[in-house]
Amino acid sequence: MGEVQAAARTLGIEVVTLEIRRAEDIAPAFEALKGRGQALYVPSDAILFSNRIRIITLALGARLPMIAVLREYVEAEV
Amino acid sequence: MRRREFMALLGGATAAAWPLYARAQQPSRLPTIGLLGVSTPSAWGHWVAAFVQRLRELGWTEGRTVAIEYRWAEGRTERFAEIAAEFVRLKVDVIVTAANAVLAAKQATSVIPIVFVLANDPVSTGLVASLARPGGNVTGLSIQSTDLAGKRLELLREVIPGLRRLAILTNVGYAAAMQNGRGSGRGPHARHRGRNP
């Protein structure tokens, strides 16, 4: 994730990292994010990818703009 | 078509068909692909179907000219090494996998060819020596996840002009696995990005 952080620093954007280890951590991570981020970056990762529907649903619910590495996130039907 | 071109074409076609023919003569053991699925069959279903279909188009029909051993880690990273070790015991001819399971496969064998479906940054994570010359027994597709990080942020900033605070969702288990992978002769400072000319 160093690359995203470095790029953010260059653009003057502060970064909040939401750490997860398993699928069950994703919903609490979104809870913890409330009011702390204006947008969400989802890097390429097998666990995140397998849970893309869950992630998109949570992002939509929180009205949080989100960008991901793979187009399947955009194409997923929620 | 000139005669020389035609002969070259014919020669190429014969050469391409030969290994298939040779293998088809040995029904006792089909060439075997070990498919190490990171996730679940349902999550990977359409990709596996596309893989099997393309193999068939290339003359490798599952169950007839090629065998595929499917193993699914179902997102449990501790399963990667177990499955990779099983493939080595089974003496599969090639291992096909993705994401952080590639590292487990690489640690399990330096002999069996490993093809990864996609990797975020195969060079800096030590999977390959370089994109131009991967070396070793590992190759595959890089999605250049890191190279394009800046572009994605620029896009986001176009959507949200006042973007000051960005959240990143991170699988810390994956990050740790990748850090460990760098241990073999590549310190964190030896990190090298970008493509070779």
Interface confidence, given as ipTM, is: 0.93
- Tell me, yes or no, if A60 comes closer than 8 A to chain B by beta carbon: no
The Cα–Cα gap between B44 and B72 comes to: 10
B98 CB neighbours in chain A (<8 A) are: 46
Strands A39-42 and B138-142: unpaired
CA gyration radius for chain A?
Answer: 12
Distance in angstroms (rounded) separating the CA atoms of residues B167 and A66: 9
Q: Distance (Å, rounded) from C-alpha B109 to C-alpha B112?
A: 6
Dig out the tokens for B179 from the structure.
């850090």
Q: Which of B101, B169, B173 sits opposite A42 (nearest CB)?
A: B169
Q: At what angle do helices A26-33 and A52-61 cross, to 10 degrees?
A: 20
Find the distance separating the first CA and the last CA of chain B, reported in whole Å: 36
CA separation for the pair B109, B132 (Å, rounded):
22
Residues 12-71 of chain B whose Cβ lies under 8 A from any Cβ of chain A = 38-40, 43
Distance CA B58, CA B51 (A): 11
Residues B128, B122: contact at Cβ < 8 Å? Answer: yes
The residue that leads in pLDDT, B55 or B22, is: B55
Distance from CA of B158 to the nearest CA of A (A): 12
More confident residue, B20 or A45: A45
Give tens-digit pLDDT for B100-149.
899 999 999 999 999 998 887 888 888 999 888 899 999 998 877 777 88
Q: Would you state the pLDDT for residue B27?
A: 53
C-alpha distance from residue B24 to each of B27, B175, B176 (Å) = 6, 43, 44
- Per-residue pLDDT of B29-73, as tens digits, reads 899 999 999 888 988 888 899 999 999 999 999 999 999 999 999
Residue range A29-64, pLDDT digits in tens? 999 988 889 999 998 887 888 899 999 999 999 999
Q: What is the pLDDT of residue B148?
A: 83
pLDDT > 70 in chain B, percent: 74
The Cα–Cα gap between A40 and A10 comes to 17
pLDDT mean across residues, chain A: 89
Spatial separation of the C-alpha atoms in residues B35 and B50, rounded to whole Å: 14
A75/chain B closest Cα distance in angstroms: 14
Q: Can you give the pLDDT at residue B193?
A: 36
Residue contacts between A and B (CB atoms, under 8 Å): 142
Cβ within 8 Å of B, A 7-36: 7-8, 10-23, 26, 29, 33, 36
Comparing CA positions, the residue from B149, B13, B72, B125 lying closest to residue A41 is B149
Query: What pLDDT score was predicted for residue B189?
Result: 31
